Structure 1
Amino acid sequence: MDSIDKNNKTELILKGNISTALITLSIPIIINNLIQTLYNLVDGIWVGKISSVHFAAASFVWPINFLFISIGMGISIAGTSILSQLIGADKKEKAKEYANQIIGISVLLAIGLTLLGIILSPLIIKAMGATGDLARYGNTYLRITFLDTIFLFLFFNINSIMNAQGNTVTPTILSAISALLNVILDPIFIFTFNWGIAGAAWATLASRAILAIVGLKILFGPNNKIRPDFKGFKFNKDILKDVFKVGFPSSIGQAGAAVGFIVLNGFIVSYGTATVAAFGMVNRITSLIMQPAMGIGAALTTIVGQNMGANQLDRAQESFHKASKITSIVGIIGCILLLVFDGPIVNFFIQSKDDPEVITKGIHYLKYISLSMPFLGLFSVFQGIFQGSGNTKYSMSMEIGRLWFVRIPMILIFKYFTNIGSTGIWISMSFSNILVCVYGYIIYKKDVWKEKVIKVSPHQVNN
């Protein structure tokens, strides 16, 4: 193993120590994910200083925005999966062709989704049951965030192309710069310019625009091994077919989850604004705690993809086992921290004290959801192996099944057949995270993930 060049990520992934590869790739992804989470956290903290209704509005509309960007996320997942397998098979020129198509279709979809989102946002918010200030502030925030769709999609592309090569550092540096700019602009736009909740959305838009512009410059630079070339570009039906074959289930899974959260928010809002705010706040906290496990899962996608491209199924399977152990440990530690420091954590993230019920409900929810933290980590690992192998239909079924077949039915049962109130939501959230991992393990043991979706033969001359 001493002969392995640690700076050559492909060599490390295909021949090096798997634990080293997981940690090396995941650390920048974890930092990147933490930075991305900071976008929402910083917005939440500053908006929360205005009032709990403003905070609830930003949380309430998040699933709507997520529904639209889920298509870009699906294409990004397909990009990482396909490109990593082509790199593992030593077909870099073919990988460049795929990168061109992925960027082209992403831009086209982003423009269409932006226009659609701006038009439909007030209708969707109304259909979700929001009224008064919650609806007004939510619509203001959402319409502005739709404007950054094209920049977000481009960053997804940059991220997937870099991650497929094992270069997880560059996207992290870009995200750090963007997040720092967002932190600076938030208080200026919200309070100095007195733009309120709109200021938070404009700050994020400006930050992501700069992120995408700088990222594209690096993507087309000489140091990128998979450098796109749009000279004489035209869409290739065969390549797009492969991209959608892998990306469509991911997009459906993400979109299904987003729609599920929209429906979920419809139930949550019926319990009052305080419950909406508590739900949004605790989800931000758990997202922050679970970033290490999510980073491991994302790194696993690249490692599984490259090793499957090189026909090294044993290494792909070994990487899954080691990733499972690491995320389980992280989840247990996260669970303990949340249970021990629940009060201080919730009070930190809710700066506005105008509604004490938000604090009470937040602590209550945190106790329930913390118990499923180890399973949230395993969920990320199952997603990593299914997406890395290109078998995204299984990751899709996990995304959709967790919400539509477990969580929402349980919430309905608790709502209409018991008198435990919002506690039914918290129980349903935690139990669904546990049950979906049981399903993921059953699929994994059947070995169906070993079937290659994109047919590539390693170490052949590129055509």
Structure 2
Amino acid sequence: MANENVELMRGEPEIAVRKLAIPIMISMLLTASYNIIDGVWIAGLGQAAIAGVGFVTPIFMILNGVSVGLGNGATSSISRAIGARNHEGANKSATHSLLIFLVASIILSLILLVIQEPLLKTYGASGQSLVEGIKYGTPLFIGLFAFMFANGCSGILRGEGDMKRAMYAIIVSVVLNFILDPVFIYVLNLGSAGASLATIVSSFASAIVILYWILIKKDTYVDVNFKGFKFEAAVAKDILKVGIPASLDMFMMSIAMSFYLVFISSVGGEYGIAAFTSGQRLYLFGIMPLTAIASAVAAVSGSAYGARNWDYLSRTHTYGTKFAMMFSVAIMLILVIFAPQLALIFAYTPETSVLIPEITRFLQIACLGLLLVGIGMPSSFMYQGIGRGTTSLAWTIIRELIFTVSFTYLFGIVLNWGLVGIWIGLAVGRILASILNFCYAKYTLRKLKPQMEA
């Protein structure tokens, strides 16, 4: 199976992107269902709990982002080695990746446990929402190693094109989370802490499944063996030159999210935060298919770049963009047209029903940004695939911190349009940045052509 996956990566790029994207898409939609499932059960705890979890979101994005980012570093390094037909190089990349996941999880757990309370207060959390935020965040940060290895090891499988088994591991995790959420939250009466504890236990199960395939069953293309292991700085650097910027992608997005929370809290208070948190869950769920396609683009781009095949690299980007655009338009229409019905998912109790109009407005305005996100996201992931993680990071900063934060502040605060202005800013900033990102990707490909064909 592993060899078939590798040959698929080396074959026609359109077929590779399509076949790799579907299982990634299913995996990511299932992963995103963590947030949806947690949101549904947390909604029953009241508005303070919803807001408290919302305040944790930027920190959780750092936690999740580092694990996904380092996994992307592993994907890029392994796929480029596969494209260059360097099996030993792929093995070293996988082995060093596991070591990096372990070290990063220990360091970040300690840091996040220390900074969570002052950060939550900075975002505007106070009183009961602060209490709920700490209850939800603490188990997540203690159990960071589970997320780190679940997402990171999935990156190793993606690097060799084995998307199906990464999907199977996610299925195990989601089913467990679905079962454990109500048990931990209500049966064991753990409240907000129960939701995060269920997520950690489920992620741990996913990590165990993937590590079994890699370390014990050993039926993957990469052969991880720590016997006689020697640390090689060059290998770690190759992983981290994509992994660190990819991790910082999420960090920059969490900083942007912090600004959004401050803006929203200043004009809409706890009500605005709760509405944004609920609507944002659906938005993030909606972009999962686009992220999946972009992840496939990263893997196939890495293989094409490693093989120095410019035609395959260019075709990968072009097809990935068209494929993502098709999904982005469809998802946008669903979220906008069915916004009132979707809002009910997170506002089904008498106390939270007052959130329905604002959640609906968020979906009908902010989600218009999906119109062109489909051309920006594959471009960013292509940079990661060819080993240019800093370029991908730069476009995240441009999109979220420069364009989107600026427009949300302009419309929401300066022009005093309130929450509606912030929702408009989210859409406008992302659309404009995505257009520029796509244009720069095409420019990058033109510059690479003479180098790769030399």
Same fold, TM-score > 0.5, yes or no: yes
**Which AA in structure 2 matches 1:154?**
F
In the alignment, which residue of structure 2 is the partner of 1:337? Answer: 334
Matched with 1:373 is 370
Deviation at 1:194, TM superposition (A): 0.9
Is 1:316 equivalent to 2:316 in the alignment? no
Structure-2 residue corresponding to 1:461 = none
Q: Is 2:337–2:364's contact at 8 Å kept on the other side of the alignment? A: no
Q: Which residue of 1 aligns with 2:45?
A: 50
2:143 is aligned with what amino acid?
Answer: D
Give the counterpart letter for 1:444 in structure 2. A
Query: 1:401-416 alignment to 2 at 5 Å?
Result: 401-416=398-413
TM-score (norm 1): 0.92
Shift of 1:227: 2.2
Residue 194 (structure 1) aligned with residue 189 (structure 2): yes
Q: Hey, what does 1:119 align to over in structure 2?
A: 114
Question: Where do 5+ consecutive residues of structure 2 fail to align?
Answer: none
Cα deviation 1:397-436 (Å, max 9, x = unaligned)? 1211112111222222234432311111101100111011
The one-letter amino acid of 1:60's match is F
Deviates more, 1:432-441 or 1:287-296: 287-296
Following superposition of structure 1 onto structure 2, how do residues 105-254 of structure 1 map, counting pairs within 5 Å?
105-220=100-215, 221-254=217-250
Where does structure 1 lack aligned partners over 5 or more consecutive residues?
458-463
Counterpart AA for 1:378: I
Aligned partner of 1:445 in structure 2 is 442
Q: Is the 8 A contact 2:256 2:401 kept in 1?
A: yes
Q: Which amino acid aligns with 1:341?
A: F
Tell me how far apart the structure 2 counterparts of residues 395 and 353 of structure 1 sit (CA, whole Å).
44
Structure 2 residue 424 is the aligned partner of structure 1 residue 431: no
* Aligned equivalent of 1:15, options 11, 15, 23: 11
Q: How many percent identity over aligned positions?
A: 26
Q: Return the offset for 1:297.
A: 0.8
Match of 2:271 in 1: 274
* Deviation for aligned residue 1:251: 2.2
1: CA distance between counterparts of 2:2 and 2:209? 27
State how far apart, in whole Å, the 1-side matches of 2:308 and 2:86 are.
Answer: 14
Aligned equivalents of 1:146 and 1:247: distance in 2? 20
Aligned residues: 450
Which residue in the other structure is 2:70 paired with? 75
Deviations 1:95-150 (A, max 9, x none): 11121111112201111111121122111111222101111100111111112211
Q: Which amino acid aligns with 2:281?
A: R
Partner of 1:418: 415
Indicate the RMSD between aligned Cα atoms, in angstroms.
Answer: 2.2
* Whole-angstrom distance in 2 between the partners of 1:416 and 1:181: 42
Letter in 2 for 1:250: A
Partner letter of residue 233 of structure 2? K
AA paired with 1:233? F
Structure 1 distance, partners of 2:418, 2:394, is 29
Partner deviation per Cα, 1:348-397 (whole Å, 9 max, x = no partner): 23233314441111111111123221312222211221111111222111
Q: 1:449 to 1:294 in 2, by over 3 A?
A: farther
The alpha-carbon distance between structure 1 residues 403 and 63, as it changes in their structure 2 partners (threshold 3 A), is same
Deviations 1:311-330 (A, max 9, x none): 11101111211111121121
Give the whole-Å Cα distance in 2 for the aligned partners of 1:133 and 1:244.
40
Which residue is 1:348 aligned to?
345
Do 1:389 and 1:451's aligned partners in 2 also have CA atoms closer than 8 Å?
no
